[in-house]
A and B are shown apart, each in its own frame.
Chain A
Amino acid sequence: MTTTAQATAVTATARRRRDPASGEWRGPKRPYDIVKEFVIAMVVVGLLVVGLAALFSSPDDRSVTLRAWAAAAPIDFMTTTATELDGSSGSAGYGPPYNSNSTGQQIGPLKLAQFAGVRIPIDSANDFVINPLTALSSADPTVKAALDQWNGASATQQQTWATNYTAAIAKAPNQDPTKVAAGDYGPVPALVAAEYQVALTGALDGALGMGGDFYQTNYTKSLLFIADGGYLATLADNQHLAGDSWGMMNETGSYPGQAWLWLYTFWYQINPFKSSANADALVWGLMMILTLGFILVPFIPVVRSIPRWVPLYRLVWRDYYAKHGGGRH
């Protein structure tokens, strides 16, 4: 090949490989006041949000205290307390990061929860019932006797008493813990009743979270305990916040909530996720893959070509195409 022919071939290759969208724009321009544009945007958006805030305000339903829970739903409160003692509550059998009582969820063979380990240790019986009662009610001789009996018993004996009691609650009229048939429950009914009484005074709200410290910013124990009961979920269900009605992306009242979480909550509405014991892990795994795909759109063959196959871009640049041609790719 001659030198001229080689040069021509190189130029042709370079022309073929040149990305026509990558160079400095040398076509027609128009005046653009970027500062003025930003100021106008600030004024318009500022007026819009102030207007929306004035018109629609924002939701603020008061938090549910343990006292309010005990007062409004005593059966639910006492039953939940009993399940903390027998280890059948949601948090007692949760697994990582709270305890080792289950393996946690997994994605196929991948046990990510277990891999992270127990980093926020929760002992439901002691953290939610025994320790708060010891701190708040041990001056009461009845409660002290019940605590002494519980603490002096073996783990097997404690389990037997608590399991007997929760089984009896299930058979009691209205499943009322105060109406169970006589049985071998040890100090469990007394402990449950004491927890209920302490909760009614409001003292349990502080005792559960404080953990012996003056300051408190960590509400893990209080929130786990209240979420173990059915009361919080009933209130949420009444506010269309339950998982089967698009869950936490909604907000109390008729506010838009976190609408941008629609895809995440969508998967919980359909099978196989809906009926899977590993639904959370599977949905998170799927969302991680989709998120990676979203970030890498420019490199994913079919996805990056869709805008050219469905040429909505012609609407954006219709004036330019009308004047200069093109737009048929």
Chain B
Amino acid sequence: MTATLPGPAGTPPEAPEPDEAVLQRQWTSKLRRGFFGAYPPERLLPDTQPSYVASWIYVFGVATIAALVMIIVSGLVLTLEGPQWWHTSTWGHFVNSVHLWSVELFMLFMVVHLWGKYIMSAWRGKRALTWITGALCFLASVGTAFTGYVIQTNFDSQWISTQAKDGLNSVGIGAYFNVLNTGQMLLFHVMMLPLVLSLIVVLHILLVRRRGVVPPVGIDAETGEPVVSGEAAR
């Protein structure tokens, strides 16, 4: 048995343990319980998956993310020496080419992924929000890519911006989002839109991990067998 020694003179008495009920009510505790309850490690980084996930169509989701990583990396390299560096540097032009082709593949992979999810009715089983965030990813990507085209500081950007302004102006958006203002577009392209897109992508992936990959049409997730007669094949 260990003897309890008195503390130095003037040491305040040891504070009592915090009330568990108070801790449970804390915003931090609630967030921790909510997040790790929904996302235990084996769900975030799974080592198995349903056996029906066995088609090439499933490759396009991860391929889209890989292309996005290439876009971000090449985009970061392009930012290192300013927006016009790539016009005069062979290396800069090559990095710009990597950026361009990453975008082309990213959009191609994402469109195939979207069509794949459509033909699978992938919104079934409370997965509508996963579809919605996927659609928002596509829209944010279109906007981000568009701002990239208008900040190239070459003939393409002159023509595309002067053409695009009419559509945006016609519905009042151009009054706030001025595609002829290269500085504004540059900041949108390298900061605001990538941030928004990345957040939606993270949310989309978390939703996929939360709900899992949608089971085949007409198959009951709880049995892995065809839905019994009388149950709705949603």
Are the C-beta atoms of B66 and A38 separated by less than 8 Å? yes
Q: In the complex, A140→B149 CA distance in Å? A: 41
One of B11-19, B25-33, B155-163 at the interface: B155-163
Q: Which residues of B contact A324 (CB under 8 A)?
A: 219, 224-226
Complex A-B: 9 CB contacts under 8 Å: A19-B126, A29-B49, A112-B172, A218-B180, A219-B182, A220-B178, A232-B159, A284-B168, A324-B224
Q: CB of A22 within 8 A of chain B?
A: yes
In the bound assembly, the distance between CA atoms of A323 and B55 in angstroms comes to: 15
B50: which of A27, A232, A256, A264 is its contact (CB, 8 Å)?
Answer: A27
Tell me the minimal C-beta distance from B207 to chain A in angstroms. Answer: 13
Q: Are B149 and A27 in contact (CB under 8 A)?
A: no
Checking A21, A35, A49, A294 against B67 with a beta-carbon cut-off of 8 angstroms, the contacting residue is A49
Q: Which residues of B contact A280 (CB under 8 A)?
A: 166-167, 169-171
Known: A54-B94, A259-B104. 8 other contacts (CB 8 A): A46-B70, A58-B99, A219-B180, A252-B155, A285-B171, A310-B119, A313-B217, A320-B216
Shortest CB distance B210–A (Å) = 11
Against A, the Cβ 8 Å flags (1 = close, 0 = not) of B140-164 are 0010011001001111111111111
Choose the segment among A76-84, A151-159, A222-230 that binds chain B (4+ C-beta atoms closer than 8 Å): A222-230
Report which A residues bind B (CB closer than 8 A).
15-35, 37-38, 41-42, 44-46, 48-50, 52-54, 56-64, 94, 96-97, 104-105, 107, 112-113, 115-117, 119-120, 217-220, 223-224, 226-227, 232, 235-236, 239, 241, 243, 247-248, 251-252, 255-256, 258-261, 264, 278, 280-281, 283-285, 288, 291, 294-299, 304, 307-308, 310-313, 315-317, 319-321, 324-329
Identify the closest chain A residue to B212 (Cβ). A25
**Which residue of the partner chain, among A16, A42, A227, A311, contacts B162 with CB atoms under 8 Å?**
A227
The complex places the Cα of A117 from the Cα of B231 at a distance, in Å, of: 56
Chain B stretch 63-120: residues in CB contact (< 8 A) with chain A = 63, 65-67, 69-70, 74, 86-87, 93-94, 96-102, 104-105, 107, 111, 116, 118-120
Given contacts A15-B230, A307-B120, contact A58 B221 (CB under 8 A): no
Residue of B nearest to A243 (CB): B163
- B183 located at the interface, meaning its Cβ lies under 8 Å from any Cβ of chain A in the complex: yes
The reply to whether A307 and B121 form a contact with Cβ atoms under 8 Å apart is yes
Are A219 and B216 neighbours in the complex by a CB distance under 8 Å?
A: no
Question: Complex Cα distance A33/B149, Å?
Answer: 37
* Docked pose: A182 CA to B225 CA in angstroms: 91
Name A59's closest neighbour in chain B (CB-CB): B156
Please tell me which one of the listed residues B94, B127, B178, B212 contacts residue A120 in the complex, with CB atoms under 8 A apart: B178
Given A25-B221, A113-B170, A48:B105 Cβ within 8 A: yes
CB distance from B152 to the nearest CB of A (A): 7
Q: Please, how many angstroms separate the alpha-carbon atoms of A32 and B172 in the complex?
A: 49
Q: How far is the CA of A295 from the CA of B135 in the complex (A)?
A: 5
Q: Which chain B residue has the least Cβ–Cβ distance from A60?
A: B154
Of all A-B residue pairs in the complex, the 4 with the closest CB atoms, nearest first, are A27-B224, A217-B183, A21-B125, A116-B172
Q: Is the CB of B159 within 8 A of A24?
A: no
Do B216 and A116 have beta carbons less than 8 Å apart? Answer: no
Measured CB to CB, the residues of B under 8 A from A are: 45-55, 57, 59, 62-63, 65-67, 69-70, 74, 86-87, 93-94, 96-102, 104-105, 107, 111, 116, 118-121, 123-128, 131-132, 135-136, 138-139, 142, 145-146, 149, 152-164, 166-176, 178, 180-184, 186, 212, 214-227, 230-234
Q: Residue of A at shortest CB range from B62?
A: A41
Is the CB–CB distance between A320 and B153 below 8 Å? no
The answer to whether A32 and B48 touch (CB under 8 A), given A116-B175, A218-B184, A320-B219, is: yes
Given A25-B224, A58-B93, A295-B132: A307 in contact with B219 (beta carbons within 8 A): no
Residues of B within 8 A of A258 (CB): 142, 145-146, 149
Whether the Cβ atoms of A115 and B216 lie closer than 8 Å is: no
- List B contacts of A239 (CB < 8 A): 155
Inter-chain CA distance A97–B169, complex, in Å, is 7
Contact of A50 among B98, B146, B149 (CB under 8 A): B98
Chain A residues whose CB sits within 8 angstroms of the CB of B51 once the complex forms: 27-30, 320
Question: Do residues A41 and B97 form an inter-chain contact, with CB atoms below 8 A?
Answer: no
For A60, the chain B residues whose CB sits under 8 A away are 86-87, 93, 96, 152, 154
List, in ascending order, chain B residues with CB within 8 A of A227's CB: 162
Q: Are A281 and B70 in contact (CB under 8 A)?
A: no
Closest residue of A by beta carbon distance from B71? A49
**What's the Cα separation between A297 and B136 when bound, in Å?**
12
Q: Could you tell me if B181 and A220 are in contact, using CB atoms closer than 8 angstroms? A: yes
Task: Kindly provide the distance from the CB of A63 to the nearest chain B CB, expressed in whole angstroms.
Answer: 5
**Roughly how many angstroms separate A44 CA and B96 CA in the complex, as a whole number?**
19
Q: Are A57 and B52 in contact (CB-based, < 8 A)?
A: no
Q: Chain A residue with minimal CB distance to B48?
A: A29
